Amino acid sequence: MDNVIVELKDICVDFDGQRVVNKLNLTIHDNEFVTLLGPSGCGKTTTLRVIGGFVSPDEGDVFFEGKRINDVPPHKRMVNTVFQRYALFPHLNVYDNVAFGLKVQKLDKREIKSRVSEMLELVGLKGFEQRGIGQLSGGQQQRVAIARALVNRPKVLLLDEPLGALDLKLRKDMQIELKRIQQSTGITFIYVTHDQEEALTMSDTVVVMRDGVIQQVGTPQDIYNEPQNAFVADFIGESNILEGMMYKDFLVQFAGADFECVDKGFGRMERVQVVIRPEDIKIVPQIQGQLTGVIESVIFKGVHYEMVADGCGYKWLIHSTTAAEVGSVIGMRLDPEDIHIMKREEDAK
């Protein structure tokens, strides 16, 4: 886990005069599951294609195991890609698709055969060797695409929104499957997605991007619990984001009240942004609450109720397993560790 395998240094990419990746620095370790996460157009796919060799950066360097590989063409790189829409070869059957890379390397026939069948077993497609690509379901095509890349035993596997075309149920299954494959093969995965839940479920490290710039790098827990700015907080799950002011260490004011918190290191009286996750707001009787609000709406979401409470100059989003009645007045409590303080976005820039 400590060996650096891929390193991006000050990468910039321009398309038609527009900067899609801006001064990007990223270090990826051996055996790591890294996810590049962000909305469409944030530069995550471009970053992946820089590593794969399909886009050459306008500035900056790409290192692979310490060697600069800017000028190495895709077919000579030790990485393989699972493409967004699979990009399977329509003229070849499942076996020949998976064997493609090995045949290009001119490996011994028997070795090809054993490696392909081993790989098809791993992705659960044994017995499908002779099927045409058109006869497969989306999920099966997905597995072929993964097998076709993995069979070459790349040091790094690049996955570009590989589950984007699948339905919800299948996507969940494949998330678990992919994680299992990554752990059993020990290959570094670099995974691109715009689905925050997917990123949190599978990754060792999440890289949140926006407008070609990295916003935050961290473990899923870090990213969720300690978002560095409002964009990350908002993108990773739903949240209440309020303007506030830091009196001093461990004491913050927002929504017209003072709260204890666990953050420090801000300037005295510094204006900050406060993030509160909807599930961290506890509903209590009105007199016990630090804040009060009137319930505006209640929607049943299966696991919990999603409620909006209007009070103290803000519409609070609350997730709770017990429902309050619409129109009722409630109290809200926040524990110090549920209050996340961030630098104001304008200042952070």
Partner 1 sequence: MKAKSPAYPYLAWMIIFIVAPLLIVAYFAFTDKTGAFTLANISQAGQFSPVLLKSVYLAAIATVICLIIAYPLAYILSRTKVRTQRMLVMLVMLPMWMNFLLRTYAWMTILENNGILNRFFGLFGLGPFEMINTQGAVVLGMVYNYLPFMILPLYSIMEKIDGSVIEAAQDLGCSSMGVMRKVVLPLSVPGITSGITMVFVPAVSTFIISKMLGGGGNLLIGDIIDLQFLGLDYNPHLGSAISLVLMVLILLCMSIFNQFDNEEAVLL
Would you tell me which residues interact with partner 1 (CB under 8 A)?
Answer: 52-54, 73-76, 79-81, 83-85, 87-91, 100-101, 104-105, 148-149, 152
> Which C-beta is closer to partner 1: that of 133 or that of 281?
133
CB 215 within 8 A of CB 232: yes
- Specify the residue, 109 or 264, whose C-beta has the smaller distance to partner 1: 109
Contact (CB, 8 A) for 327 and 295: yes
Beta carbon of residue 140, minimum distance to partner 1 (angstroms, whole number): 17
Distance of CA 13 to the CA centre of its chain: 21
The residue (of 91 and 349) whose beta carbon lies closer to partner 1 is 91
Shortest distance in whole angstroms from residue 105 CB to partner 1: 6
Q: What's the min distance (Å) between Cβ of 92 and partner 1?
A: 8
Closest approach of partner 1 to the CB of residue 104, in Å: 4
- Residue 49 beta carbon to partner 1: minimum distance, rounded to whole angstroms: 9
Q: Least distance (Å) from partner 1 to the CB of residue 241?
A: 38
Minimum Å distance from CB 158 to partner 1? 8
- Our CB check for partner 1 shows the closer of 185 and 253 to be 185
| CB 16, min distance to partner 1, A | 10
Q: Which is nearer to partner 1, 43 or 101 (CB)?
A: 101
Nearer to partner 1, 90 or 327 (CB): 90
What's the min distance (Å) between Cβ of 235 and partner 1?
27
* Token digits of residue 271: 């204006």
Distance of CA 45 to the CA centre of its chain: 12
Q: Is 185 exposed, middle or buried (0-12, 13-18, 19+ CB in 10 A)?
A: middle
Please state the three-class secondary structure of the chain as a single string. CCCEEEEEEEEEEEECCEEEEEEEEEEEECCCEEEEECCCCCCHHHHHHHHHCCCCCCEEEEEECCEECCCCCHHHCCEEEEECCECCCCCCEHHHHHHHHHHHCCCCHHHHHHHHHHHHHHCCCCCCCCCEHHHCCHHHHHHHHHHHHHCCCCCEEEEECCCCCCCHHHHHHHHHHHHHHHHHHCCEEEEEECCHHHHHHHCCEEEEEECCEEEEEECHHHHHHCCCCHHHHHHCCCCEEEEEEEEECCEEEECCEEEECCCCCCCCCEEEEEEECHHHCEEECHHHCCEEEEEEEEEECCCCEEEEEEECCEEEEEEECCCCCCCCEEEEECCHHHCEEEECHHHHC
Nearer to partner 1, 39 or 74 (CB): 74
Task: Provide the minimum distance between the beta carbon of 146 and partner 1 in the complex, in angstroms, as a whole number.
Answer: 12
Smaller CB distance to partner 1: residue 165 or 329?
Answer: 165
Select 53 or 289, whichever has its Cβ closest to partner 1. 53
Nearer to partner 1 by Cβ, of 145 and 276: the residue is 145
Backbone angles phi, psi at 321, to 5 degrees: -80, -15
